[in-house]
């Protein structure tokens, strides 16, 4: 985690931290030495990492519950997977599925999008558990979700949709 320290003459004793765009920003008194700040920063970084991990676990649990519900609604509950989670390393796509391992990964960018878009991506990735390609059968499964076309349009408008269902 990148750390940026800002020292201030106005700050007398306290040290604070906040996460801004993935950078841990530390506000410290101007008189504080690096040696004095090091254990404080380490403690603040550890607290932040625990908090982020807790939030990630909650998000993943919510995601699992939503995927189970969508599985019941659109796949009669027949699909099985070993993991579904948000990841931060998907920049060109919103989801991926490894059908043989039953692992579904969704871009954490979906957390800031409308629920119906996230639900479309979940249904899309769930369908890959049954059809690992983008065949006509695959799109037939995905289109059970009633907002498929709307979600694809939303993603295309953002410049992210790389699969046109009419091409298959």
Condensed to tens digits (0 to 9), the pLDDT of residues 79-100 reads 999 999 988 888 788 999 999 9
Residue 104 has pLDDT above 50, yes or no: yes
Cβ proximity of 67 and 44 under 8 Å: no
CA distance 34 to 81: 48
Cβ proximity of 73 and 142 under 8 Å: no
Domain ranges in the chain with CATH number 3.30.2010.10: 58-167
Residue 165 has pLDDT above 80, yes or no: no
Higher pLDDT, 61 or 80: 80
Q: Angle CA(63)–CA(108)–CA(25) in degrees, nearest 5?
A: 125
CA distance 68 to 77: 7
Q: What is residue 79's three-state secondary structure?
A: coil
- The pTM (predicted TM-score) of the whole model is 0.69
Pairing of strands 95-98, 103-107: antiparallel
The arithmetic mean of pLDDT across residues 5-27, rounded, is: 89
Domain 58-167 in CATH 3.40.50.300: no
pLDDT digits (tens, 9 = 90+) for 137-159: 999 999 999 999 999 999 988 87
Residue 126 has pLDDT above 60, yes or no: yes
**Which pLDDT value is given to residue 51?**
82
The arithmetic mean of pLDDT across residues 57-68, rounded, is: 86
């Amino acid at each position: 985690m990148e750390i940026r320290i800002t020292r201030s003459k106005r700050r007398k004793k306290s040290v604070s931290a906040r996460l801004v765009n993935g950078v841990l920003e530390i506000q410290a008194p101007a008189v504080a030495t690096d040696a004095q700040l090091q254990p404080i920063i380490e403690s603040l970084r550890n607290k932040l990492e625990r908090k982020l991990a807790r939030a990630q676990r909650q998000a993943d649990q919510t995601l699992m519950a939503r995927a189970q519900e969508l599985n019941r609604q659109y796949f009669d509950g027949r699909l099985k997977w070993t993991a579904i989670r948000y990841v931060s390393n998907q920049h060109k796509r919103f989801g991926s599925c490894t059908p043989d391992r039953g692992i579904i990964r969704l871009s954490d960018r979906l957390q800031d999008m409308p629920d119906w878009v996230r639900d479309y991506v979940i249904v899309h990735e769930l369908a890959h558990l049954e059809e690992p390609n983008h065949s006509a059968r695959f799109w037939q499964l995905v289109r059970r979700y009633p907002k498929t076309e709307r979600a694809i349009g939303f993603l295309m408008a953002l410049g992210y949709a790389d699969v046109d269902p009419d091409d298959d």
